[in-house]
């Protein structure tokens, strides 16, 4: 029997990464359903397009759509990514890597970082990163695919990509149009609302064309053309915790082999990113305009470029926060229209794909069931809030007091949940954990210890192991990881192999998502 209440017309407003990822997912995963999908965008409207660093979750999004990894990587000039290096965050001169993988292995129910902390107090000189295979591999510029054999250290990590976001959108446009997507070119100059329900009924394009739909997906960026300008949903600002409100991006020529990790270098009023692609380097400066001018921020960015600038600077303004509802009536906001968390941990594309998959999970009928909307909004709010807290930690867990900016973030009041988590770790070395969420315990350990947050006490069960036993075990572990990394190919060799993978047809045995 045909379900006449099913959503039959979906209109995506806006392109860029958010719009075309949404289009690709819907056209592929709903290809057997009687749903017409259109996307409205204008060549006159630019996209932000600076988000070039991703998280491992993008691999699984692409796999779900049947995208061939080597072909995708070749098209978007991608490199592999094992983690993010943070420079000058705890103190000037410090550096650590937040990896896509674990630190050591727990034993007797006690997390590995407790054993490392005890050994450190006994004089162990090796940083905790020496006990994480992706950290060691990243620093030695190595890369190999994770193994499925759980007995191997090569199974203890995942990986992501550095990509050209503009080329990724282009790739997905071709992918979507091959699957029947209807692209509408033009600027939207009017939004029609139903006078009884308040639902969006149609949008009008310059020139007079009207596009009607049952469900609208707002991918219009910061302006929130439907979710905010039409529906007045409201925005919750988080500037008091994440005060950076500007960014400048400049691509540059590369003068060395691309590294298999992103670099985030703390500066006087924010931080600078460095993202290596196959054909260039992506550079940016995220900063707070209360503490530095736009011109000075651009000068700092240009002074730090490795090679010649390849384009003029792209200046952006933003407010960190989120819409009070990402799904309101028959409009779902995905991407920047739903909220913005600065790119410190490369979460932008992850939040896009999470919203897409949540929408598919709770895909409504034309009545827009309120329970679906509530669960979608609850899930997205929980995820965004947990990411927010993790980002705040980077700023607050610092000993820096060399500028007014750093004095502010180290002393600012914190969300209660984050404050409790920090205090528990400082006292006991344990964390208030959760099963759902992007950044699980290894991620928090990386930032806490990388930024010199040392617990006062450790798990009392460590008393069972002698100092000699502990040091022996850690020395063997460090050597085992180093031996495995020594056998890995160089990152540049793995990139060179992409063409042959495309020619031969690509197969590999992979590991499930980090944080499994």
Domain identity same for 230 and 333: yes
Structural domain includes residue 71: no
Domain identity same for 405 and 482: yes
Indicate the DSSP class of residue 132.
-
Domain identity same for 232 and 344: yes
Between the CA atoms of 516, 343, 153 and 110, what dihedral angle is there, to the nearest 10 degrees? -60
Domain identity same for 390 and 452: yes
- Which helix (DSSP H) or strand (DSSP E) does residue 404 occupy? helix 404-411
Q: What's the confidence (pLDDT) of residue 47?
A: 55
Structural domain includes residue 132: yes
- Which helix (DSSP H) or strand (DSSP E) does residue 139 occupy? helix 133-139
Structural domain includes residue 334: yes
**Domain boundary residue, one of 299, 317, 335:** 317
3-state secondary structure 427-467: HHCCCCCCCCCCCCHHHHHHHHHHCCCCCCCCCHHHHHCCH
Identify each DSSP E strand in 77-147 by its residue range: 79-81, 83-87, 95-99
Q: What's the confidence (pLDDT) of residue 367?
A: 87
CA distances in angstroms from 477 to 480, 484, 515, listed in the order given: 5, 11, 21
Give the pLDDT means over successive 10-residue stretches in the chain (516 positions): 74 96 97 95 66 90 95 96 98 98 92 96 94 98 93 92 95 96 94 96 92 97 96 97 97 94 98 96 97 98 95 94 97 96 93 96 91 96 96 98 98 96 96 79 96 95 91 96 97 92 63 34
Domain identity same for 181 and 40: yes
Q: What's the confidence (pLDDT) of residue 438?
A: 85
Query: What range defines the domain where residue 362 resides?
Result: 9-52+164-237+320-368
Sheet holding 321-323, edge to edge: 235-237, 321-323, 339-340
Dihedral sign from CA coordinates of 161, 362, 441, 509: negative
Partnered with residue 436 across adjacent β-strands are: none
Domain identity same for 127 and 44: no
Structural domain includes residue 229: yes
Q: What's the confidence (pLDDT) of residue 506?
A: 57
Structural domain includes residue 57: no
Structural domain includes residue 374: no
Known catalytic membership, residue 81: yes
- How far is C-alpha 120 from the geometric centre of its chain's CA atoms? 32
Instruction: Count structural domains, the chain.
Output: 3
Domain identity same for 171 and 116: no
Domain identity same for 399 and 481: yes
Domain identity same for 431 and 391: yes
Structural domain includes residue 198: yes
Any idea what the CATH number is for the domain that residue 201 is in? 3.50.50.60
Residue from 81, 325, 329, 388 carrying the catalytic annotation: 81
The model carries a pTM of 0.94
Phi-psi region of 16 (alpha: psi -120 to 50; beta: other; left: phi over 0): left
Give CA–CA dist 14/23, Å, rounded: 10
Residue 509 in tokens: 């045995």
CA distances in angstroms from 449 to 13, 443, 455, listed in the order given: 43, 10, 9
Q: What's the confidence (pLDDT) of residue 46?
A: 56
Domain identity same for 311 and 330: no
Domain identity same for 312 and 339: no
Structural domain includes residue 88: yes
Domain identity same for 390 and 448: yes
């Amino acid at each position: 029997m045909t379900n006449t209440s099913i959503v039959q017309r979906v209109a995506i407003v806006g392109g860029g990464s958010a719009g075309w990822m949404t289009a690709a997912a819907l056209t592929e995963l709903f290809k057997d359903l009687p749903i017409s999908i259109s996307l409205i965008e204008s060549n006159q409207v630019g996209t932000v397009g600076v988000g070039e660093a991703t998280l491992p979750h993008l691999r699984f999004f692409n796999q779900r759509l049947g995208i061939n990894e080597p072909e995708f990587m070749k098209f978007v000039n991608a490199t592999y990514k094992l983690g993010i290096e943070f420079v000058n965050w705890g103190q000037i001169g410090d550096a650590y890597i937040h990896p896509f993988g674990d630190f050591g292995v727990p034993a007797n129910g006690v997390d590995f970082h407790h054993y490392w902390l005890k050994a450190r107090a006994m004089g162990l000189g090796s940083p905790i990163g020496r006990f994480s295979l992706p950290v060691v591999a990243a620093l030695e510029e190595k890369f190999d695919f994770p193994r499925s054999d759980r007995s191997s250290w090569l199974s203890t990590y995942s990986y992501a990509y550095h990509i050209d976001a503009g080329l990724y959108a282009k790739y997905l446009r071709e992918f979507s149009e091959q699957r029947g997507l209807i692209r509408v070119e033009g600027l939207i100059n009017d939004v029609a609302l139903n006078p009884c329900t308040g639902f969006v009924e149609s949008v009008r394009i310059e020139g007079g064309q009207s596009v009607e739909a049952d469900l609208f997906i707002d991918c219009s960026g910061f302006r929130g053309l439907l979710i905010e300008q039409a529906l007045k949903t409201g925005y919750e600002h988080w500037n008091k915790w994440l005060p950076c409100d500007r960014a400048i991006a400049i691509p540059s020529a590369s003068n060395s082999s691309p590294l298999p990790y992103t670099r985030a270098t703390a500066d006087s009023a924010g931080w600078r990113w460095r993202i290596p692609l196959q054909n260039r380097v992506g550079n940016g400066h995220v900063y707070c305009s209360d503490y530095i001018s736009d011109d000075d921020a651009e000068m700092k960015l240009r002074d730090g470029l490795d090679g010649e600038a390849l384009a003029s600077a792209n200046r952006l303004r933003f407010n960190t926060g989120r819409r009070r509802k990402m799904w309101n009536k028959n409009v779902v906001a995905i991407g920047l229209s739903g909220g913005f968390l600065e790119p410190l941990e490369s979460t932008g594309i992850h939040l896009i794909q999470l919203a897409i998959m949540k929408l598919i999970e709770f895909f409504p009928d034309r009545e827009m069931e309120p329970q679906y909307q509530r669960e979608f909004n609850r899930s997205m709010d929980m995820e965004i809030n947990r990411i927010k807290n993790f980002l705040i930690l980077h700023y607050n867990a610092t000993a820096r007091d060399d500028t007014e900016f750093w004095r502010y973030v180290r002393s600012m009041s914190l969300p209660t949940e984050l404050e409790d988590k920090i205090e528990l770790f400082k006292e006991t070395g344990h964390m208030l954990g959760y099963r759902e969420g992007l950044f699980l315990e290894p991620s928090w350990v990386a930032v806490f210890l990388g930024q010199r947050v040392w617990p006062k006490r450790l798990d009392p069960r460590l008393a069972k192991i002698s100092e000699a036993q502990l040091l022996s075990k850690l020395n063997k572990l460090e050597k085992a990881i180093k031996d495995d990394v020594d056998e890995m190919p160089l990152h540049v060799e793995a990139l060179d192999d992409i063409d042959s993978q495309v020619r031969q047809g690509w197969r590999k045995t992979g590991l499930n998502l980090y944080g499994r």
